[in-house]
Every structure is written in C-alpha cells, then in structure tokens.
C-alpha cells in the first residue's frame, strides 16, 4: 500500500499597485494556476506592503479588489487554493513583530529595494519601508511555506526570511521551515518594449514600454508595432539583438514555439510582420483573462464571499503557528 505524500506548501503575495503587466503574468501569475495541482497553494494580495509608499485610500481599495479579481481570472481557484487579502489576517502583522526581534538592523539596512525606494520616495522614508522585509518573512513563515515563487529582485528578501527563521530556530528550537525559491525554468523575465535592457515595469514613463494584461487587442498590437528592434531585419535569437530576443521570448511564452521554430516561421519576413504576429498572439492569449476579469469585477458579492472564506482559512492556519511561536518566546497563554 503506497503512502500518501503530503503536498508541499507554496506562498506567494502580490501588491495591489495597479493592473498586472505582461511581465508579471508570464514570469509569475500564469504559473500559479497549474501549481494548484501539485502544491498546497496560498495566495495573498499584500495590501499592507502597499502602504509603505503613499496611497490614495479609495484607489488602494479599488486596486486591491481588482488584483483579487485578476488572480481568479488568471486561474486561481478559491476552492483549491487559499486566496485572501493580507490585511484581513492580522496574524501576519503579529508574527512580524516577533520576527523583527530576531532580525538585525544591519540586515535591513543592506536591502537593495529599501535603498532604491528611499531614493524614489525621498520625502517619505518611513519605518515601514525599512522593516517591510520582516513582514514579508512573516507572510511566508506564518504558513511554514516550503516554496516561494520569486523573481530575481526578490531573492535577497527570501534569503532574509531564511536567515530570520534560522535565527529563531537557533534561539527557541527547530520550528520554522526554511523556504526555498520556486523559479520557473522559462518566461521568468520580460523586458521593456522601448528599452529591452530593462525589465518591463508598470512605472515606466513611456506608455509604449509596458503591456498590461487588461489592455485591449488594438492597444497591445499598437504597442508591439512600436517595439524597439535593430537594423538587421532578421528574426533570430542571438547576442546583441535585445529587442528581437525579448519579442521572441514573449512569442515563445504565449505560443509554446521554440526559438528555432520562430526563426523558421519568419524567415524572409520583416520585423513589421513579426511584431504584428507577436501582438496578435499575446492579445489572443490574454483574451480569456480579460473576459473573466470583466465578469468577476462586476460580481462584488462573489468576490467578497471568496476573499472572506480565504481569510478565514488563512487565519486558522496561521493562528496555530502564532500560538506556538508565542509559547516558544515565553508569552503567557491567553486562553
């Protein structure tokens, strides 16, 4: 008789800072749905992280609801995963305080994103901006997550979470799982359409640099038509062709075609034909997401039902963790 192997737990959070980009989608979010078959998945809209920079309250509420609806539209099934809004589970913030007492000031001061955001928001370098990597660690460790899907820019934060967990375990006995990164083999990095040496970003000042997953088909094709390429007029993947390499990576991600197949498909054709083909393929690939989102965002009652149930499940899981942590550090039992 074969033994049942417990599924590993994956935690991932995404900030509600506007519509997800094609880079967010290809590099991370579209992979989350299939993970539900293999793992115990926990997904959170991390609105508490969002307020480390100034937010307009009504806009933050709107962005949070839209981000949650987008998760569901992108394939997250609230019956198969725990999908919730971070601020609806106070255990994250409570655990963050305990973990901050196992975090060194010097570790936080070395966080690259703190330095970057401090320069960008120099008029509001607040304590939350400095300590939010500890809250990020709490997000992960509250569930004793085995794996965390991350991009290259989050490796430093995951390493900090591992250090904090290890230090806590050393002080109070083995308890926290040391989380490992989950990095997809392909599609992990989509570059700007206007400067293909930079990662695609929703904050790019050039509106043609970024594809949003809710952009309509005409907008998507127009942006791809304006994408930066080179003067060679040959669709092939090689060093020095950053623009074409980026477009080929995107086309490959949404069609499943290899670079060799793409090169053969566009042999003898110009960049204009290729750009239109990429735009159409991306628009068609995203159509189910746009349609699903349009239905979900109109059904506020269903969304509330889903995120409330998700928060209740998340609270129960994490309260057990937090109660054990409180006992380990020496707090008197409340009940």
Say whether 199 is catalytic: yes
Q: How far is CA 283 from CA 23, 65, 211, 218, 309, in A?
A: 14, 23, 10, 8, 33
Residue 83, beta-bridge partner list: 43
Question: How far apart (Å, rounded) are the C-alpha atoms in residues 214 and 217?
Answer: 9
The CATH superfamily label for domain 9-187+300-329 reads HUPs (3.40.50.620)
| 8 within 8 A of 147, measured Cβ to Cβ | yes
Spot the catalytic one: 8, 202, 217, 225: 202
Q: What pLDDT is stored for residue 292 in this prediction?
A: 97
Question: How far apart (Å, rounded) are the C-alpha atoms in residues 156 and 162?
Answer: 10
Listed by start position, the domains of the chain span: 9-187+300-329, 217-294
Say whether 198 is catalytic: no
- Identify which of 184, 205, 293 has the alpha carbon closest to the alpha carbon of residue 249: 184
- Buried residues in 185-208 as b, exposed as e (16+ CB within 10 A): eebbebbbbbebeebbeeebeeeb
Q: What pLDDT is stored for residue 117 in this prediction?
A: 73
Q: Which H helix or E strand runs over 84?
A: strand 82-85
* DSSP, residue by residue, 248-263: HHHHHHHH---HHHHH
What pTM, to 2 d.p., does this model score? 0.89
Q: How far is CA 113 from CA 40, 110, 131, 154, 232, in A?
A: 29, 9, 11, 9, 37
* Sheet arrangement for strand 180-182: 82-85, 40-45, 9-14, 147-149, 180-182
Say whether 171 is catalytic: no
| CA torsion, ordered 13, 18, 21, 26, to nearest 10 deg | 20
| 9 within 8 A of 42, measured Cβ to Cβ | yes
**251 exposure class (CB count in 10 Å sphere: 0-12, 13-18, 19+):** buried
Q: What pLDDT is stored for residue 3 in this prediction?
A: 45
Question: How far apart (Å, rounded) are the C-alpha atoms in residues 148 and 184?
Answer: 11
Spot the catalytic one: 59, 79, 115, 117: 117
**From 1.10.10.10, 3.40.50.720, 3.40.50.2000, 1.10.240.10, which CATH number describes the 217-294 domain?**
1.10.240.10
Spot the catalytic one: 115, 198, 199, 223: 199
Per-residue pLDDT tens digits of the chain, which is 335 residues long = 444 468 999 999 999 987 889 998 988 888 888 899 999 999 999 999 999 888 999 999 999 999 999 999 999 999 999 999 999 999 999 999 999 999 999 899 888 777 777 777 777 788 888 899 999 999 999 999 999 988 766 788 899 999 999 999 999 999 999 999 987 665 557 999 999 999 998 888 899 999 999 999 999 999 999 999 999 989 999 999 999 999 999 999 999 999 999 999 999 899 999 999 999 999 999 999 999 999 999 999 999 999 999 999 999 999 999 999 999 999 998 76
Place of tokens 């197949």: 261
| 287 within 8 A of 279, measured Cβ to Cβ | no
Locate 121 and state its tokens.
């928001």
């Amino acid at each position: 008789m074969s033994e049942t192997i417990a599924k590993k737990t994956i935690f991932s959070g995404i900030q509600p800072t506007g519509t997800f980009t094609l880079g967010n989608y290809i590099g991370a979010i579209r992979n989350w749905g299939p993970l539900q078959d293999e793992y115990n998945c926990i997904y959170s809209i991390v609105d508490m992280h969002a307020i480390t920079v100034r937010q307009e309250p009504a806009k933050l509420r709107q962005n949070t609801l839209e981000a949650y609806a987008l998760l569901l539209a992108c394939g997250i099934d609230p019956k198969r995963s725990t999908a919730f809004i971070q601020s609806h589970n106070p255990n994250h913030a409570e655990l963050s305080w305990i973990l901050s007492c196992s975090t060194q000031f010097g570790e936080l001061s070395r966080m690259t994103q703190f330095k970057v955001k401090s320069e960008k928001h120099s008029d509001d370098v607040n304590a939350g901006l400095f300590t939010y990597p500890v809250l990020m660690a709490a997000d992960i460790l509250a569930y004793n997550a085995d794996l965390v899907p991350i991009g290259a820019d989050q490796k430093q934060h995951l390493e900090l979470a591992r250090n904090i967990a290890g230090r806590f375990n050393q002080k109070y006995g083995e308890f926290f799982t040391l989380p490992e990164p989950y990095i997809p083999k392909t599609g992990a990095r989509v570059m700007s359409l206007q400067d293909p040496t930079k990662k695609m970003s929703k904050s790019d000042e050039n509106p043609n640099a970024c594809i949003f997953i809710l952009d309509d088909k005409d907008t998507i094709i127009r942006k791809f038509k304006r994408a930066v390429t080179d003067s060679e007029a040959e669709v092939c993947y090689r060093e020095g062709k950053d623009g074409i390499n980026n477009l080929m990576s995107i086309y490959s991600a949404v069609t499943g075609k290899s670079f060799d197949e793409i090169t053969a498909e566009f042999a003898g054709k110009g960049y204009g034909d290729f750009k239109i083909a990429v735009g159409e393929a991306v628009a068609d690939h995203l159509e189910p997401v746009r349609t699903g989102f349009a239905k979900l965002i109109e059904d506020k009652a269903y969304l509330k039902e889903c995120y409330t149930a998700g928060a209740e499940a998340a609270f129960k899981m994490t309260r057990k963790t937090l109660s054990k942590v409180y006992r380990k550090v020496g707090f008197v039992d409340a009940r």
